[in-house]
Amino acid sequence: MDIIFLGGLEIKTIIGIYDWERVAKQTVILDIEMAFDIQKAAETDDIQHTLDYKTVSHRVISFVESSQFFLVERLISEIADIIRNEFNVSWVKVTLNKKGAISGASDVGIIIERGEKKS
């Protein structure tokens, strides 16, 4: 199975459990990998036959910018659900980096995989 990916997608959002985090937007950085068979698009050279990563990025940015979750667990799960359900993606891996959440740590976050790679 092939993978279409988006890397280093920086989005500002309300995220966190502390009072100050409920009023100040913070940046989350997303890396997204999506299983997709690119063979037909490669043969036809036609965007209609592939997963348009620009469309996916716009949907994810719009969702994350308007969300107000407390936990990164909830946010990352919602992102994975949107990609799988709205874009017919059988398997997705999402990495969410909430840089700066822990003083002394350069990176903090979660990595999830959902679904199965179809052969």
Ligand X SMILES: Nc1nc2c(c(=O)[nH]1)N=C([C@H](O)[C@@H](O)CO)CN2
Residues contributing to the site for ligand X (CB under 6 A): 16-18, 21, 71-73, 98, 101
Alpha-carbon span 26 to 21, nearest angstrom: 8
Beta carbon nearer to ligand X, 77 or 90? 77
Q: How far is the CB of 22 from ligand X (least distance, A)?
A: 10
Alpha-carbon span 3 to 14, nearest angstrom: 30
Catalytic pick among 98, 99, 117, 118:
98
Determine the Cα angle at 99 with ends 9 and 105, to 5°: 145
Beta carbon nearer to ligand X, 46 or 73? 73
From residue 82, alpha-carbon distances to 13, 42, 54, 74, 86 in Å are 17, 25, 15, 12, 6
Residue nearest to ligand X (CB): 16
Beta carbon nearer to ligand X, 73 or 113? 73
Is 25 considered catalytic here? Answer: no
Active site residues: 98
